[in-house]
Structure 1
């Protein structure tokens, strides 16, 4: 059996808040005695930024601002050079979760152009005749609970005249959709909710969908690259729905792909919700609602 190096955390959910202690064990399993030149554990927190293909070459100065941002970096010596006995060896560790210098720890987020990740990297150095062993494990960081949100319902009305940036407005059938979003200031642990009612519509409806978007902005004083990409799309109505009947809206914010809204000097993470109405003739109209996500 080959020697196995692994990292285990005490918390099954792997979610931590700044100031807590990341505790677990480094596991080494071997068939015979295992000689090594030292075992170390590194805790890293990094913001990775990248340009979209349409932004490459636009801002020459921008390339300096897309370097990774180090939020935290701690090195812990797990074992000094020596020999581990045959079988299973577990070495406990504890690493306080704190930012580097005057930086802040942001929530874990997996985006398209922006990624905020925290990892534990175990390294076992071995002799010249044996390959070094490496094991990496991601853990999640969440903000501490904040103050209670002031929930304010948002009422909306959609008609052909209210639509923005739409080509061929004359082809859009006459319709009127009234609705209410429970709040545009959203707690990430609660679903996005509300309801809508199709009051009138001169054409048959094919589908009504809720679309969650991430809007990622990277840049510096010389310029910014802003890109919106879809996170998820949920159908809330299928076919030509009955008029004057409330249709509920309910969408859970997916873990990792959403995070509290964030704005820094080098990047921004924002979110929007699109209400998409598709008609039977394949004409599609969209109403956009910028939202702010937070953690309570």
Structure 2
């Protein structure tokens, strides 16, 4: 039986926030601490692997069960680098620092690649353009490095650090900068409640009778139930700057029971994945909610409430369109109202058992109605010389 290896190995990147730009050189060093019990540490070589891939999956909401089981959605390998840091040999007791560097480009290195100072030589190149780091629902763009000390199995096996993830940011493109500079304000209005399942059932019943249908279309259908207007400063943004605009309550609902409860701005991501068979799957999911009108706040009519929403770093990226996937975003304004009707629910947890009878306590919950509008926006990377704008939050 062999004894477990106690050697510690750690990856330290030169960037303190682990963020690198595309086409930059990723630098760092490997710290290997060899303990007395392992000295000297014999190995068959020390290698570093750097990978970048796009992991895709079809949406469960927008695809059938057969598509999810049999559709082919292969990951996209954008970068696969393997650098030999040290040839076979042995490490004495103590701490050893081994520097490394590789270009952050769509390059495929082979294991035969040798490392000489800060220069890596390779014989191949990748065919996919690098994308920015993104963690979505069905699309994930991930980059990472891993170091392995290769050892025979009888000597305890290889020692690995596991995958150490780092973040990659794209550079500004001229077309994206022009689109942001030329973007115009976008006005919006909320005037009617969103249709619920009960509303759809009622509409089906009314459609069976022509008389009821004609009477319902006589003029009430076009009446405004309330009026909330607003404006976004533009529809194309730099990811470093916030989404800005305003919301103005022009008039409250005609029915005073439907009191305004809150107004939120939801940042939506729209992910599209295309399988090898041509199956197209699109899903919208919420990234974050920013509440601009609080519950219980007495907002007077014709008062402008500002909108200020920042992009979260890990869950947002510049808009991208690829042959097999795309990522876009939208700003959704949601107004929530109290319906004024108590919905009674049987609470089994509030049941009281007696030797003769059983009592169930009913809890009352306020029904809510919403009114929303979704505005597509495009996101781009700002030039490095742009001094204004806020940093995105992690």
TM-score w.r.t. length of structure 2:
0.70
Distance 1:178 1:273 in 2: 15
1:191 aligns with 2:238: no
What value does the CA root-mean-square deviation take over the aligned residues?
Answer: 2.3
**Which of 10, 30, 33 is the matching residue for 1:29?**
33
With over 3 angstroms needed to count, the CA separation of the structure-2 counterparts of 1:190 and 1:259, relative to structure 1, is same
- Structure 1 residues 123-163: Cα deviation after superposition (integer angstroms, max 9, x where no partner): 11123231322122111111112344314211222212xx7
Residue 285 (structure 1) aligns with: 371
Deviations 1:77-101 (A, max 9, x none): 0111111121211100010111143
Give unpaired runs (5+ residues) of structure 1.
Answer: none
- Equivalent position of 1:8 in the other structure: 12
Q: Distance in 1 between matches of 2:328 and 2:312?
A: 15
Report the Cα offset of residue 228 of structure 1. 1.1
Matched, 1:236 2:264: no
Structure 1: how far apart are the matches of 2:244 and 2:66? 39
CA contact (8 A) 2:172 2:380 kept: no
Alpha-carbon distance, 1:109 to partner: 0.4
The structure with the largest strand share of the pair is 1
Counterpart contact for 1:7–1:26, Cα < 8 Å: yes
Q: Which has the higher helix share?
A: 2
Partner Cα separation in structure 2 for residue 156 and residue 62 of structure 1: 42
Give the structure 1 partner of residue 312 of structure 2: 254
Q: What is residue 155 of structure 1 aligned with on the other side?
A: 187
For 1:226, which of 271, 277, 282 is the aligned residue? 282
Distance in 1 between the 2:369 and 2:69 partners?
A: 41
8 Å CA contact 2:71, 2:279 repeated in 1 = no
The 10-residue stretch of structure 1 (74-83 or 51-60) with the greater mean CA deviation from structure 2? 51-60
- 2:268: which partner in 1? 213
1:165 CA displacement: 6.4
Shift of 1:166: 6.3
- Give the greater-gyration-radius structure (CA): 2
Matched residue SS, 2:71: helix
Distance across 1 between alignment mates of 2:323 and 2:196: 33
CA distance in 1, matches of 2:43, 2:185: 62
Q: TM-score, normalised by structure 1?
A: 0.92
Residues 62 and 223, structure 1, Cα contact 8 Å, conserved in 2: no
Q: More relative contact order in 1 or in 2 (CA 8 Å, sep 6+)? A: 1
Confirm or deny that 1:273 pairs with 2:324. Answer: no
